[in-house]
Amino acid sequence: MNASGISPSSQVSHQSLQFSLQREHEHPATTRIPTPSSIMKPVGEFIGDQREVALAATAAVALGLAVSLLRAKATSEPRQLPLELKTTLPVLKNVVDVVQNTPRFHDWLNETSIEFGHKPWRFAIPGRPDTIVLSSPELFEDVLKTQDNVFLRGPTAKHITKDLFGNSMITSDGDPWFFHRKTATHLFSMQMMKDVMEETVREKLGVFADMLAAYAARGKPVEMKDELSHFTMDTFCKIGFGVELDTLKIREEGEPDNGFLEAFDMASVAGGVRAQSPLWLWELKKFLNVGWEKVFMDNTKIIHNFINSIIVKSVTKKNEMAARGEKMEAKDLVTLFMESRLKYTDIQMDDDDATIMRDMVVTFIFGGKDATAHAMDWFIVEMNKHPEVLHKIREEMKEKLPELLTGELQLPTHAQLENLVYLESVIRENMRLHPSTGFVVREAMEDTTLVDGTFVSKGSLAMMSSYCNARNADNWGEDAAEFKPERFIDPTTGKVRVFSPFQFSNFGAGQHQCIGQRFALLELKLSIATLWSKFDFKTVADPAEITYEFSLTIPIKGPLDVEVIALPAAPAPPTTSA
């Protein structure tokens, strides 16, 4: 172990990885990507072309009839099958349903789940495995915990997402998943939360607050989706790789944004289109390099080149520090990755180190950037819809942390925010109604029966919808669809209520539960308390009209133009004399 905290063998690996990545980074993608405004057309318009539907029908006739006959023969004994839509067609099955409802896909799932009493139901697209929609905690627990050896991520999901995420933690099973999980767990240790993460969030918050003050003085609307992405991207890259991106800066009106941030958004939308298309159709489009597959692959290339550049910077910095005999302040993902490769030598990985590292980074940037940024986007919308909730948040601050409103305290610590129970309940309620991903998919690796008696055939996809689960009246009460933060406050103790991860399912559950959930809550609580104690954020559009874009996540559709209004400092509370 040298003075920098890197073992000699690990340092050699750093240099080898740097050389491999440098070759890719020297040849960046030059394809011009579409701007976000170009994706505002309903996604269904792009996958619902009449000619494509007709072609799909023709190609699927023989296969559909053959499969139906085989299934009828193989299932002579009566079984409790998932419920089917009345609109299911003989050959096209539910292609028309999916195409018509793609722009409002999550609401379609929810409305249908309510219609079926939240019992398992299925939809089918020719050329894809049947998808069984689940929307209750009991079924989530059955798939994600009780039968987690039967329901895996599986080959179908991996095939759909591999171009972007490779063999990463969110696409893999078995040993590769174990390797990525063990590596990442160390990044989110309690010690890292205490020593590195909180301080980095506070540092970037200071920059962000100064920038918002300048925007407020300018008096023009700000596109907050972009700015919040900059904030979360800068924060995570500093924590994960020790690299300063410096995307948080004041932009002039009309100044273009960072291309790699647009690429993340475009790839997410195009990936959502791929996920709802017949396998053979998107594979053909990919081969021909046309339509949304061209968008997906072009932007994936931009993302991968950007990720490689981050890793190159990180590795170069470490080698320079080692040469000077300096010690790293903390271990980041690159160092943890190298240590894991040396430790878990018995795990066989299909890719070289550079590719494995890149796939890991792509996964964490999507999770670390998008989940928090989208949660704050939706928080702005909800506070505009429910000003009485925002008033209660500030009243709680006034009572329990008044110096935050008076300006005596500019950047609070997490410990100082622990008593803000109502604030945390609002954050959790916002995440409940607006989960970072609308659903999680697992593939049945063998025939099985769910806990409610529903038969699931091998190869079927179980789609667990957090969006529907959050609106399940059996789960959350008759007011499940309403924004009601009080549901997260224990009426007896007055503390934040902790729900089962199968009920409050935003962070997943079972052995695949999100390892970054503590960091996400820390970042959200610090950020919201700091920013909403200094500013008001008024949406230019009617907040009731703001909806989501269908993609791999659940972002706000279109821009989020906001008027940033600086708040006057509250008067200091009177001092009591002895």
Full 3-state SS string of 132-157: EEECCHHHHHHHHHHCCCCEECHHHH
Q: Is the dihedral of CA 54, 299, 369, 538 positive or negative?
A: negative
Predicted local confidence at residue 437, as pLDDT: 87
Left if phi > 0, otherwise alpha if psi is -120 to 50, otherwise beta: which for 85?
Answer: beta
Q: Is 225:550 a contact under the CB 8 Å cutoff?
A: no
pLDDT given for residue 11 in this prediction: 46
> For 328, phi and psi rounded to 5 degrees?
-70, 145
Q: In what order do the strands lie in the sheet with 222-223?
A: 222-223, 561-566, 535-539
Beta strand segments in 202-254, E = 222-223
Identity of the highest mean pLDDT range in 44-53, 266-275, 407-416, 486-495: 486-495
Q: What is the pLDDT of residue 57?
A: 46
Note the maximum CA span of the chain: 89
- pLDDT score for 46: 41
Contacts of 334 (CB under 8 A, 6+ apart): 14, 17, 241, 311, 314, 315, 318, 357
- Encode pLDDT of 74-92 as tens digits: 444 568 999 999 999 999 9
- CA-nearest of 567, 563, 424, 445 to 498 is 424
Kindly report the backbone phi and psi dihedral angles of residue 507, in degrees, each rounded to the nearest multiple of 5, phi listed first: -105, 15
Band of pLDDT at residue 460, cut at 50, 70 and 90? very high
Six-digit token string for 229: 């992405």
Start-to-end CA span in the chain (Å): 58
Q: Which two tokens stand for residue 516?
A: 């970054």
Cβ contact 526:412 at 8 Å: yes
pLDDT of residue 58: 45
pLDDT tens for residues 358-380? Answer: 888 888 888 778 889 999 999 99
Summarised one tens digit per residue, pLDDT across range 499-540 is 999 999 988 888 888 888 888 999 999 999 999 999 999 999
Per-residue pLDDT averaged across 319-344, rounded?
A: 76
Phi, psi (rounded to 5 degrees) for 537: -125, 105
CATH architecture of residue range(s) 8-25+53-91+105-112+120-566: Orthogonal Bundle (1.10)
| pTM for this predicted structure | 0.83
Mean pLDDT for the stretch of residues 17-40? 45
Evaluate if residue 447 carries a pLDDT over 50.
yes
Rounded Cα–Cα distance for residues 464 and 120 (Å):
10
Q: How far apart are CA 430 and CA 377, in angstroms?
A: 10
Q: How far is CA 509 from the centre of its chain?
A: 15
Phi (first) and psi of residue 194, to 5 degrees:
-75, -45
Q: How far apart are CA 577 and CA 95, in angstroms?
A: 73
pLDDT in tens, 224-264: 999 999 999 999 888 888 888 888 888 776 666 677 888 98
Contacts of 108-111 spanning 24+ positions with Cβ under 8 A: 109/133, 109/135, 109/438, 109/439, 109/463, 109/465, 109/467, 109/468, 110/135, 110/465, 110/467, 110/468, 110/471
Q: Give the CA distances from residue 567 to residues 447, 533, 538, 563, 570, in Å, rounded to whole numbers and listed in that order.
A: 60, 8, 12, 12, 8
Pairing of strands 439-444, 131-134: unpaired
Using CA atoms, how far apart are residues 109 and 316, in angstroms rounded to an integer? 48
